[in-house]
């Protein structure tokens, strides 16, 4: 099967690619070569990758091909091209964190994420661009990652390279990090699926931390079903795909977080979200209004924790290497040293109280829903200094509470044809219900929409 110029193959599902491998209609080498070709063609416009491990990826693709030729029993991710954010340690492979300070840093150990992905047989071919240290702003040495829906706009942050590349068909999944929305917001901007699983589901060993209390690791994919396949090796249980992806959500009760939904001022985002809620109702879910006390104050809880913990991890570099940071990152690192122990401990206590409030809502509903972002993709990266939009208002509450939360594209704005994200939030360790509802919704709106890139 010749696929060198057939980009459609790169947008197939993981299940479809695996089926073609097993029937020997398609080779992992062909898919890896096509992925790398597409990456090379796209990179001048997207700037989605910092490091590409082409030689090693092709070697592993050949090994995977041999496994399929021999008819060996392998897992769902065997031979599937996957990327990771350049903040996970990879032994012998440059890991920059998107920073000038660590431009030539080569770890001596692998992160647990990298180890587990290799064990599944997935082929990790690249390390994706990101905001510096997943924090503050992009470093000018690396440059902004652009959005395949409009290359004059940002892919978001901080897992921008992961989101941009997946939307563009470069790889079938990517793993990013989310401390305040850094998986879900770029997923929203780029029109893909991004999951922040329950806190501590995926081991953070070998991840350079931003805020250990708020950091989550999760997958970005084009479809909900792909997301579940990629996530399963990290769960303590097998997912019942037949049950999850039955297409039925009848009888489920979904609570619309009114304060986070009605406060959207962008009329096109409001229109898409309103239509989405009707679709959920038409699918048989009971859609009700709900409010979470203090949800609008979650930023005030998160920031003393995030800022102080982040600065703790940077104490060996600041102020010694102050001139090497990007401006936005430097401002945040400096501010963290001003947080008192009293403010930090007060925030930790409020974090526990808020988590209890969020989880109390699940006595009344099965799932929560709200918009992911207040607007579609902007021209430049969102930052803490930008007061025109409060980008993390709808995402960071669930970093504070630790609940699983997923973005799925809800449709496009009519004027600029840009994706609008819808966020589903579930009970602890109940990613399955999120997947069930998000998949039924994604199927109902016609599945993943390819960008115009």
Query: Is 368 among the domain residues?
Result: yes
Q: What is the mean pLDDT of the chain?
A: 96
pLDDT at residue 4 tops 60: no
Average pLDDT of the residues in 7-13: 95
Determine the pLDDT at residue 381.
Answer: 85
Q: What is the pLDDT of residues 246-266, one digit of tens each?
A: 999 999 999 999 999 999 999
Radius of gyration of the chain, Cα coordinates, nearest whole angstrom? 21
Determine the pLDDT at residue 118.
Answer: 98
In sequence order, the 6+-apart residues with CB closer than 8 A to the CB of 248 are 284, 440
Query: Is 324 among the domain residues?
Result: no
Separation of alpha carbons 98 and 282, rounded Å: 44
**Annotation says 83 is catalytic:** no
Q: Predicted confidence band at 387 (pLDDT cuts at 50, 70, 90)?
A: low
Query: Is 282 among the domain residues?
Result: yes
Determine the pLDDT at residue 2.
Answer: 45
Q: What is the pLDDT of residues 321-334, one digit of tens each?
A: 999 999 999 999 99
Given 159, 182, 211, 308, the catalytic residue? 182
Average pLDDT of the residues in 4-11: 80
In sequence order, the 6+-apart residues with CB closer than 8 A to the CB of 13 are 222, 223, 225, 226
**Annotation says 85 is catalytic:** yes
Given 27, 42, 83, 158, the catalytic residue? 158
Separation of alpha carbons 405 and 354, rounded Å: 16
Peptide bond into 158 cis (omega under 30): yes
Tokens of 66: 């041999």
Instruction: Decide the pairing of beta strands 193-196 and 216-221.
Output: antiparallel
Q: What is the pLDDT of residues 343-363, one digit of tens each?
A: 999 999 999 999 999 999 999
Determine the pLDDT at residue 452.
Answer: 84
pLDDT at residue 386 tops 70: no
pLDDT at residue 385 tops 60: no
Query: Is 251 among the domain residues?
Result: yes
CATH code at position 223: 3.90.1300.10
Given 85, 127, 350, 351, the catalytic residue? 85
pLDDT at residue 374 tops 90: yes
Query: Is 277 among the domain residues?
Result: yes
What phi, psi does 369 have (nearest 5°)? -145, 145
Query: Is 311 among the domain residues?
Result: no
Peptide bond into 382 cis (omega under 30): no
Q: Among 276, 319, 210, 332, which residue's Cα sits nearest to residue 446?
A: 276
Q: Predicted confidence band at 3 (pLDDT cuts at 50, 70, 90)?
A: low
Tally of domains in the chain: 1
CB 175 within 8 A of CB 117: yes
Query: Is 100 among the domain residues?
Result: yes
Separation of alpha carbons 179 and 368, rounded Å: 19
Quick check: helix, strand or coil at residue 193?
Answer: strand
Q: Burial code of 122-154, b = ≥16 C-beta within 10 A, e = fewer?
A: bbbbbbbbbbbbbbbbbbeebebbbbbbbbebb
**Annotation says 182 is catalytic:** yes
Query: Is 325 among the domain residues?
Result: no
Task: Residue 28: give the domain boundaries.
Answer: 7-298+343-444
* Phi-psi sector, 385: left (phi>0), alpha (psi -120 to 50), beta: alpha
pLDDT at residue 388 tops 70: no
Q: What is the pLDDT of residues 403-453, one digit of tens each?
A: 999 999 999 999 999 999 999 999 999 999 999 999 999 999 999 999 988
């Amino acid at each position: 099967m010749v696929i060198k110029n057939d980009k459609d193959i790169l947008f197939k599902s993981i299940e479809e690619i695996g089926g073609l491998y097993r029937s020997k209609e398609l080779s992992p080498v062909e898919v890896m070569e096509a992925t790398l070709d597409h990456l090379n063609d796209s990179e001048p416009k997207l700037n989605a990758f910092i490091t590409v491990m082409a030689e090693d990826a092709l070697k592993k693709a050949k090994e995977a091909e041999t496994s399929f030729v021999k008819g060996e029993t392998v897992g769902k991710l065997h031979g599937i091209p996957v990327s990771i954010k350049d903040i996970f340690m990879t032994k012998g492979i440059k890991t920059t964190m998107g920073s000038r300070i660590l431009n030539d840093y080569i770890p001596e150990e692998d992160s647990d994420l990298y180890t587990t992905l290799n064990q599944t047989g997935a082929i990790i071919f690249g390390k994706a661009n990101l905001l510096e240290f997943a924090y503050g702003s992009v470093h000018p040495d690396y440059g902004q990652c652009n959005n395949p829906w409009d290359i004059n706009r940002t892919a978001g942050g901080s897992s921008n390279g992961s989101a941009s590349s997946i939307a563009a068909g470069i790889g079938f999944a990517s793993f990013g990090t989310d401390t305040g929305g850094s998986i879900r917001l770029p997923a929203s901007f780029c029109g893909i699926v991004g999951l922040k699983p329950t806190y501590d589901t995926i081991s953070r060993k070998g991840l350079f931390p931003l805020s250990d209390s708020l950091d989550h690791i999760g997958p970005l994919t084009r479809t909900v079903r792909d997301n579940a396949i990629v996530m399963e090796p990290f769960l303590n249980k097998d997912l019942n795909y037949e049950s999850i992806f039955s297409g039925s959500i009848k009888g489920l009760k979904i609570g619309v977080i009114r304060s986070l939904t009605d406060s959207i001022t962008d009329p096109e985002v409001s229109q898409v979200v309103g239509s989405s809620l009707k679709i959920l109702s038409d699918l048989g879910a009971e859609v009700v209004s709900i409010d979470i006390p203090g949800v609008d104050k979650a930023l005030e809880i998160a920031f003393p924790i995030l800022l102080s913990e982040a600065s703790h991890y940077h104490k060996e570099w600041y102020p010694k290497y102050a001139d090497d940071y990007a401006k936005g990152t430097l401002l945040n690192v400096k501010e963290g040293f001003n947080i008192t122990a009293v403010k930090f401990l007060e925030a930790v206590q409020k974090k526990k109280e808020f988590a209890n409030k969020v989880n109390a809502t699940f006595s009344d509903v099965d799932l929560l829903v709200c918009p992911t972002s207040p607007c579609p993709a902007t021209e430049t990266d969102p930052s803490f200094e930008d007061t025109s939009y409060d980008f993390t208002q709808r995402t960071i509450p669930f970093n504070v509470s630790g609940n699983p939360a997923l973005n799925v594209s809800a449709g496009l704005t009519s004027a600029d044809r840009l994706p609008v994200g819808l966020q589903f939030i579930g009970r602890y360790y109940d990613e399955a219900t999120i997947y069930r509802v998000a998949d039924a919704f994604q199927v109902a709106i016609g599945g993943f929409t390819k960008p115009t890139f």
